Amino acid sequence: MNLSVVFCLGRHMWRREFIALFGGTVIAWPLAARAQERMVRLGALMVVAETDLESARLAGVFERGLGAAGWYKGRNLELIYRWGESNPDLLSHYAEELVGAAPDILLAFGTSALIPLHKATTTIPIVFAWVSDPVGQGFVASVSHPGGNLTGFSNFDSDIGSKWLQVLKDVAPPVTHVAVMFNPRTSPYNTLWKQAIEQAAPGFQVSVSQASVQSDEDSATQSQGLGRNLEAAFSFRPIHSLINAQP
């Protein structure tokens, strides 16, 4: 696939542009299948749980975008969803299951979904979304020429740490310490975000530490402990990667 990796930081931008790119990819890739008038099979591995409040909305927007591009579930498209619930073991199982279904193309929503899919196949085209630094994590060769069977969208930009700290200092100028809270089980990319903040920290005269959590109880304990320091603040990762997966 001769497509570039696209960086998107806004949720609404992600929805519009991801659907445009992915719908176009679905059209471009299985032209032979369309000529043979057979149904195209698309496997989607979602890092979130099916019961998550955003899941139905994401699936609905995605399917409407596909429909706008001429692809309709049950008519010329077989769409197979698997919901990983931010659980690495479940995501690995579903990745193997989807690849075994021999789809024409795969969608990986989230870094934790892309990792097992990338391991499971190097031949089936994979479009990813909401993946942090795909170059730094070794998924693609470069942004302009991803190479291999991968292309998609990233939510990571090298100067995002500076942007976060700028907003934080604008809101709370006295802050001198930032704790980066993350769940190491569900966010394998957490070091990227921490490094981005650490690199920007000297310019804002703040120090940085990390707070590892794996449950709501961990989060509460860390918050209470750090909250005793009136000059401490938090940088939270998205909630599904922070708490959702319980060991």
Q: What is the per-residue DSSP string for 88-105? A: HHHHHHHHHHHHHT--SE
Tokens of 97: 């299951």
Class of domain 160-242: alpha beta
Architecture of domain 6-154: 3-Layer(aba) Sandwich (3.40)
Tell me where in the chain the CATH 3.40.50.2300 domain(s) lie: 6-154
Contacts 24+ apart (CB under 8 A), 224-231: 226/179, 229/177, 230/174, 231/174, 231/175, 231/176, 231/177
Q: Reduced to 3 states, what is the DSSP secondary structure of residue 153? A: strand
Q: Enumerate the CATH 3.90.190.10 domain ranges in the chain, comma separated.
A: 160-242
Q: Residue 114 and residue 134: Cα distance in Å, rounded? A: 10
Between CA 126 and CA 132, with CA 129 as vertex, the angle to 5 degrees is: 110
Q: Enter the pTM of the model.
A: 0.72
Per residue of the chain (247 residues), give pLDDT as tens. Answer: 433 344 333 333 344 445 445 555 554 444 444 445 678 899 999 998 999 888 888 888 888 888 888 888 999 899 999 999 888 899 999 999 999 999 999 999 988 899 999 999 999 999 988 887 788 778 888 878 888 899 888 876 656 778 888 888 898 888 888 888 777 776 766 777 778 888 888 999 988 887 777 776 776 776 776 666 655 555 544 434 443 433 3
